[in-house]
């Protein structure tokens, strides 16, 4: 070690020491804040830190490459100069500042997502305006930067006191073996990467342990490369025709007919059962609205008096689940009615224009379709997706400045958004057109800013944001009652995803439970429906309520006509694809992994179980065919005319 320190590559050694120490510190701190969720079995914790050390070494080896190359080529005449030593001290101060900044960023990311850096962090680098603004509004940044500067100064002082840098300065000689040493350093990333994959981190029976074992920097880079996952390449498959045959069996009802004999075509005719009705539809998609926030689902805090009241007046799907953990995943499910495909949501993927969608069905009836968003819709490609699929787009950038009375970095307050929505509904009504307006809120998003004087809680907390969004929905409905179009308008209130989907298991079921209300007692009688279903089923159910007969390429079904054997729900992360039915949960993962769990109650624990080949094949078939149809452009709007 002494020889290494006193070689040209002593600086690389010092970097490794710093990196490994800070990475271990992060792991210990995150373990400390997760004591109530992590499995504290000593053997499992030993495994966590052992695997974590391997990933720390891998990350350190990659990030040391520039330093290795630099150490290899610096002229010997530079070594020992005072100016050179000053530069190196500044470089190491910078390295320490960056590593400590990363540690703080990991802390806040863990606080929000209970995860190491993942594809969400990658996305956030793209949308720096919103993310930087959100951080500035949510956290005391001057104090944090002051703390980082202090920690960096103290850290460098501690490093200096170890004498490592001075030892390297004194004898950073150019030995004959330095080229061979450089090759060893440069080969290290290849060696540690062999057989190493962020997808294959052991779970240790608990997803918190799995996340702790990861290295944040390594996970970030892995997420950058794995943002898009090819189902055919990474996931378990069936023979293609068998997968489509199974999918059709799940989708077809006795009264449905299939106009095509093509085995790869899931188009069918959904048959209405009465006189067709054309209700206007205002779909309020609420940011991060977990069912657990609502009093009608057991919350004792009194956060949602409006929703608790209309719960008694609505058609409510009480066992309704989000398909994913992000807004764009919820949009995908609500607009396209398809299971989640691995990697990015279709909303953010190329070749996502002119898809068969909810908007397609509405427009075939002469509806005005609009996407109304309180933020800047370029975020997450929302505007481009909806515009490419036939929706008019109204967002923060398209309205006048006086139309915004209060806003955070994420968007205008819900009251402003609903005022725009009422205006669009008035315009459609005046033009003699029925309308479907897809409305997306942002108030229930960190930094949880809300207008003053609206509720009895202080702004800045999730609870206050939930209570405000409930208040704003109440204002919308009361104003809508005064409109001439109200008596023919259904209001949908649905969450886009839960506030958090973290849990001890691969896919914690309760982390996906969201509300889904269809409200207007004059049009739809109140009813509580406990059928297991997910976001992809909401709009097909609405079409059935209006007795529409239409060509469908949806995987979503009319919940009200499902028999017990047809109940199921899709839940996912960007890698794990889950399928729920009959007390069983199938989880499909890269690389061609499949697991099964059982549960007694949807809000109870899930238990690993022996695989049920038929059930797993059913799950594979639906995910495989949904991915295939999108990848091959077979779910286009024109294919179902």
Distance CA 87, CA 169 (A): 12
Res. 80 pLDDT band, cuts 50 70 90: low
Tell me the three state secondary structure of residue 285.
strand
- Start-to-end CA distance of the chain, whole Å, equals 72
Q: What is the per-residue pLDDT across 482-539, written as a single tens digit (0 to 9) for each?
A: 999 999 999 999 999 998 766 666 688 999 999 999 999 999 999 999 999 999 999 9
Name the range with the highest mean pLDDT among 247-251, 272-276, 383-387: 383-387
Q: What average pLDDT score do residues 408-424 get?
A: 96
Residue 637 has pLDDT above 90, yes or no: no
Tell me the three state secondary structure of residue 255.
coil
Q: Which CATH class is domain 278-564?
A: alpha beta
Res. 279 pLDDT band, cuts 50 70 90: very high
Angle between helices 613-631 and 240-251 (to 10 degrees): 100
Q: What is the per-residue pLDDT across 157-194, written as a single tens digit (0 to 9) for each?
A: 888 887 777 766 665 555 555 566 666 667 666 666 66
Distance CA 104, CA 114 (A): 14
Residue 350: half-sphere exposure toward Cβ, Cα within 13 Å: 3
Q: Between vectors from CA 52 to CA 49 and to CA 55, what angle results, nearest 5°? A: 160
348-375 residues labelled b (16+ CB within 10 A) or e (exposed): bbeebebbbbbbbbbbeeebbbbbbbbb
Residue 5 has pLDDT above 70, yes or no: no
Identify which has the larger pLDDT, 423 or 182.
Answer: 423
Identify which has the larger pLDDT, 33 or 304.
Answer: 304
Q: What is the per-residue pLDDT across 562-572, written as a single tens digit (0 to 9) for each?
A: 999 999 999 99
Which residues are CB-contacts of 373 (< 8 A; sequence separation ≥ 6)? 382, 383, 393, 394, 395, 396, 411, 417, 439, 440, 442
- C-alpha distances (whole Å) from 281 to each of 321, 384, 415, 438, 543 are 21, 22, 19, 8, 11
> Whole-prediction pTM value?
0.79
Distance CA 417, CA 425 (A): 12
Q: Where in the chain is the domain with CATH 3.40.720.10?
A: 278-564
Q: What average pLDDT score do residues 90-103 get?
A: 87
Residue 141: what pLDDT? 79
């Amino acid at each position: 070690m002494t020889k290494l320190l006193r070689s040209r590559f002593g600086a690389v050694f010092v970097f490794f020491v710093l990196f490994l120490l800070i990475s271990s510190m992060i792991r210990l701190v995150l373990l400390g804040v997760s004591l109530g969720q992590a499995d504290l079995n000593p053997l499992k914790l030993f495994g966590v830190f052992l695997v974590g050390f391997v990933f720390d070494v891998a990350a350190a080896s990659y990030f040391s490459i520039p330093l290795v190359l630099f150490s290899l080529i610096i002229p010997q005449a530079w070594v020992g100069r005072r100016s050179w030593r000053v530069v190196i001290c500044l470089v190491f101060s910078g390295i320490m500042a960056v590593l400590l900044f990363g540690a703080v960023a990991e802390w806040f990311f863990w606080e929000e997502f209970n995860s190491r850096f993942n594809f969400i962090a990658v996305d956030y680098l793209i949308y720096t305006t919103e993310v930087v603004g959100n951080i500035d509004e949510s956290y005391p940044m001057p104090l944090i930067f002051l703390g980082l500067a202090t920690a960096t100064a103290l850290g460098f002082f501690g490093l200096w006191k170890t004498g490592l840098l001075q030892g390297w300065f004194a004898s950073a000689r150019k030995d004959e073996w330095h080229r061979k040493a450089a090759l060893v350093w440069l080969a290290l990333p290849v060696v540690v990467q062999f057989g190493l994959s962020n997808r294959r981190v052991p779970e240790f029976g608990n997803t918190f342990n799995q996340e702790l074992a990861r290295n944040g920097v390594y996970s970030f880079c892995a997420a950058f490369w794995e943002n898009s996952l090819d189902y055919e390449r990474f996931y378990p498959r069936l023979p293609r025709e068998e997968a489509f045959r199974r999918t059709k069996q799940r989708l077809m009802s006795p009264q449905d007919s299939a106009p095509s004999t093509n085995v790869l075509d899931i188009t069918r005719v959904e048959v209405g059962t009465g006189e067709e009705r054309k209700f206007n539809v205002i779909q309020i998609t609420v940011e991060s609205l977990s069912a657990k926030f609502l009093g009608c689902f057991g919350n004792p805090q009194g956060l949602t008096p409006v929703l608790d009241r209309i719960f008694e007046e609505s058609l409510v799907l009480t066992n309704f689940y989000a398909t994913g953990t992000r807004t764009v995943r919820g949009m995908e499910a609500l607009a396209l009615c398809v299971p989640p495909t691995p990697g990015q949501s279709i909303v953010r993927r190329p070749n996502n224009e002119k898809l068969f969608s909810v908007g397609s069905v509405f427009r075939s009836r002469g509806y005005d379709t609009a996407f109304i968003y309180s933020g800047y819709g370029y975020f997450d490609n929302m505007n481009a997706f909806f515009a490419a699929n036939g929706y008019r787009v109204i967002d923060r950038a398209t309205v006048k400045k006086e139309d915004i009375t209060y806003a955070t970095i994420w968007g205008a307050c819900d009251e402003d958004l609903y005022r725009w929505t009422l205006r669009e509904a008035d315009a459609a009504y005046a033009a003699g057109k029925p309308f479907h307006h897809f409305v997306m809120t942002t108030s229930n998003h960190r930094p949880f800013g809300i207008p003053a004087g609206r509720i009895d809680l202080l702004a800045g907390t999730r609870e206050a944001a939930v209570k405000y969004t409930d208040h704003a929905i109440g204002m919308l409905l009361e104003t809508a009652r005064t409109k001439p179009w109200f008596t023919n308008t259904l209001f949908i209130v649905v969450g886009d995803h839960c506030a958090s989907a973290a849990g001890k298991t691969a896919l914690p079921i309760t982390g996906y439970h969201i509300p889904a209300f269809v409200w207007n007692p004059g049009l739809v009688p109140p009813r509580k429906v406990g059928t297991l279903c997910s976001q992809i089923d909401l709009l097909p159910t609405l079409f059935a309520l209006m007795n529409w007969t239409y060509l469908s390429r949806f995987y979503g079904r009319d919940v009200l006509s499902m028999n017990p054997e047809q109940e199921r729900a899709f839940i996912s992360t960007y890698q794990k694809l889950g399928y729920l039915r009959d007390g069983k949960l199938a989880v499909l993962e890269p690389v061609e992994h499949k697991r099964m769990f059982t549960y007694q109650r949807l809000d109870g624990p899930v238990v690993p179980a022996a695989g049920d080949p038929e059930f797993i094949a059913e799950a594979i078939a639906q995910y495989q065919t949904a991915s295939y149809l999108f990848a091959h452009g077979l779910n286009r709007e024109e294919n179902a005319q």
